[in-house]
Structure 1
Amino acid sequence: MMPNLLSIEALEADKAFAQRQLESLPDSPWGTARLMWEQRLNEISQQITDLRVSSATSASVAVIFDGLPVIGQGDIRLDFSTDALGTYQKIVAASLATLADEAVAAKGKIKGAKRSKLYIRDIVRGSMGFILEEISPPQSDLFNTPLKIAVENATAFLASLNTPSLDEFNSAIDAAPPRLVSAVQKFAKVLKDAGATAKIVGDDQKLALGLEDVARLSERFTTVDVQEESVTLNGTLLGVLPDSHEFELEVEGQDEIVKGAATDDLVSKYVADNAFKEQLLLKPVKAFLRYTRTYRGGRLLREQVMLENLEPQARTDYPARF
């Protein structure tokens, strides 16, 4: 099933065609052709109205490309489409991970990444695009799935960056988590390097990135830098929350408690392996952390922490006591 806004666009085109046909007919109200086109026009208008007030609760989005990588309406370079769809998937994954303002590492596995997967369900007819959807549960949800919200939020974030105002662009970057910034930066680079344009159409949000828009985005991102740093700290693990993936670590020798998010794999083992948990919780541990920082114009904007792994401290690691 096509995303709502794409379906509405197609119906609006059909409506305009039907209206032109109706206007070309004689004024006589009794003609069969006039009655047929009036009926068709009413049907289309009703379909548009229905779509505007209802939509699916699962994620569905059309990503449509044009420009140098696209030949005609049916051929697209494989290397470009792979890179473009791959970087778009990373944007959605980062958007999903930040729904609850969760910290996300600049690289490596994203918390909840498995839940962010979209699948190519169909191609967009009449242009070179792909309809991407999540695998819907057997029973329809009453509310929008987290992935649908993440897809719509991702489009809205891209739209907030696609502005002539540099101040608005900077404000959006300043407020965004590093992983999301990095993913959009890569998506813009893929489009710019290939000489491509993109149109993203979902149920609630849509965005068109022309050549000028892509060039502007790519140029502005030259002042944005997302860096990562791996750090190992000794300390006491105060806890890991399975639902939110949040952790707290009291750093050894410092009046500091480090907080952030733990990876999916670490949380899974922490929850499933009681022996693993018992040797870590409220015990001296060695924590393997990844700090991610967003800089713009050399100025630090945001810093996030991801806990990637834990192990008990060896006896030789313990601080000396007198």
Structure 2
Amino acid sequence: MPNLLSIEALEADRVFAQRQLESLPASPWGTARLMWEQRLAEISRQIEEMRVSAATSASVALIFDGLPVVGQGDIRLDFSTDVLAIYQKIIAASMATLSDQQIATKGKIKGAGRSKLYIRDIVRGSMGFILEELSPPQTDMFNTPLKNAVERATEFLASLNTASDEDFNSAIDTAAPRLVSAVQKFAKVLKDAGATAKIVGSEHKLALGLEDVNRLSDRFTEVDVQEESVTLDGVLLGVLPDSHDFELEVDGQDGVLKGSATDDLVAKYVADQAFKEQLLLKPVTAFLRYTRTFRNSKLLREQVMLENLEPRIENEMFGRF
């Protein structure tokens, strides 16, 4: 269970124990008083222990309320399926950004399999799910990448929820379009369903009431992520296998075009030496995808993804006749 959720439950127990203690006579010799004093001390000890010994693997609680929830044990299947699937996409995009690499706006995210969360339990006393990563073979001293991704995602959502208009633009500007799109869908699913949400991790938590959900969703209606396929001729200066960065000297343009190459292209570039020799420092035709993030028609961010390459040998031969 997420540390913060466990701490919340213990703090509620501590309040109850404190009230029971205050309702007893002042005599220090009563058995009941001694029992509640011991219980209060034990709860306080557990809280302090949890605060200093957070789990190193990913664990997060998603708790919902509002129209899709009936009582404390029933939730609409279509809503829960949609919202959990979109939350998983948020985590996959968040994990992919940990390496500061550009993420393709469509298709499979590199390393998405390592970002999988699993429903471990339900939240008692309310309608929610406890999501965790599969337990590693042995306990690690450091946070797993997936835990960092989960905590970063919660922190990002919280920052958007409380951000001023200027800070919201800044956050969207620096975030990967894939992450922006996933959060946009998450807010829309909550608003369309008339739902509220509470996200509680090991280190960060967030509560989205109806007003918060409506504001966040309305802000995202002003955000538009557009894609454009572009073909350019130029000279390939290189593709870096580790970072997936590429550099292309475009015909008729000053400077060097830089961006990120797809996983499939990098894999072929590294494994196929003949393919690489046809392209490196030679005339090529580059097939690119531009992804632009706008808010109120103002360009916030542009991402360039190199999807494929082919040599221009044939074109050059035709040019000599």
TM-score (norm 2): 0.91
Report the AA paired with residue 139 of structure 1.
Q
* Structure 2 residue aligned with 1:112: 111
User: Could you give the per-residue CA deviations for residues 295-320 of structure 1, whole angstroms, max 9, x where no partner exists?
Assistant: 11111111011223334446237783
Q: Retained in 2: the 8 A contact 1:104–1:305? A: no
- Measured after TM superposition, the shift of residue 275 of structure 1 is 4.5
- Measured after TM superposition, the shift of residue 279 of structure 1 is 4.0
* Structure 1 residue aligned with 2:258: 259
- Structure 2: gaps spanning 5 or more residues: none
Matched, 1:54 2:53: yes
* Structure 1 residue aligned with 2:18: 19
Q: Retained in 1: the 8 A contact 2:104–2:262? A: no
3-state DSSP of counterpart to 1:99: helix
- Measured after TM superposition, the shift of residue 30 of structure 1 is 2.0
- Structure 2 distance, partners of 1:33, 1:245, is 67
- Measured after TM superposition, the shift of residue 57 of structure 1 is 1.6
- Measured after TM superposition, the shift of residue 205 of structure 1 is 0.7
Which moved further from structure 2: 311-320 or 37-46?
Answer: 311-320
- Structure 1 distance, partners of 2:313, 2:246, is 21
Report the AA paired with residue 197 of structure 2.
A
Report the AA paired with residue 69 of structure 1.
P
CA RMSD of aligned residues (A): 2.3
* Structure 2 residue aligned with 1:175: 174
- Measured after TM superposition, the shift of residue 284 of structure 1 is 3.8
Percent same amino acid at aligned positions? 80
* Structure 2 residue aligned with 1:302: 301
* Structure 2 residue aligned with 1:239: 238
Matched, 1:193 2:195: no
Report the AA paired with residue 245 of structure 2.
E
* Structure 2 residue aligned with 1:84: 83
* Structure 1 residue aligned with 2:206: 207
Report the AA paired with residue 133 of structure 1.
E
- Measured after TM superposition, the shift of residue 128 of structure 1 is 1.5
Which moved further from structure 2: 245-254 or 124-133?
Answer: 245-254
3-state DSSP of counterpart to 2:319: coil
Within-5 A mapping of 1:28-47: 28-47=27-46
- Measured after TM superposition, the shift of residue 291 of structure 1 is 1.1
* Structure 1 residue aligned with 2:96: 97
Q: Retained in 1: the 8 A contact 2:229–2:287? A: yes
- Structure 2 distance, partners of 1:207, 1:284, is 51
Q: Is the alpha carbon distance of 1:240 and 1:145 closer, same or farther for their aligned partners in structure 2, counting shifts above 3 Å? A: farther
Q: Retained in 2: the 8 A contact 1:92–1:116? A: yes
- Measured after TM superposition, the shift of residue 161 of structure 1 is 1.2
- Structure 1 distance, partners of 2:271, 2:35, is 65
User: Could you give the per-residue CA deviations for residues 121-141 of structure 1, whole angstroms, max 9, x where no partner exists?
Assistant: 222122111111223432333
* Structure 2 residue aligned with 1:74: 73
- Structure 1: gaps spanning 5 or more residues: none
- Measured after TM superposition, the shift of residue 287 of structure 1 is 2.8
TM-score (norm 1): 0.90
Q: Is the alpha carbon distance of 1:140 and 1:302 closer, same or farther for their aligned partners in structure 2, counting shifts above 3 Å? A: same
Within-5 A mapping of 1:216-231: 216-231=215-230
- Measured after TM superposition, the shift of residue 12 of structure 1 is 0.6
* Structure 2 residue aligned with 1:142: 141
The count of corresponding residues between Structure 1 and Structure 2 is 321
Q: Is the alpha carbon distance of 1:312 and 1:56 closer, same or farther for their aligned partners in structure 2, counting shifts above 3 Å? A: farther
Q: Retained in 2: the 8 A contact 1:105–1:305? A: no
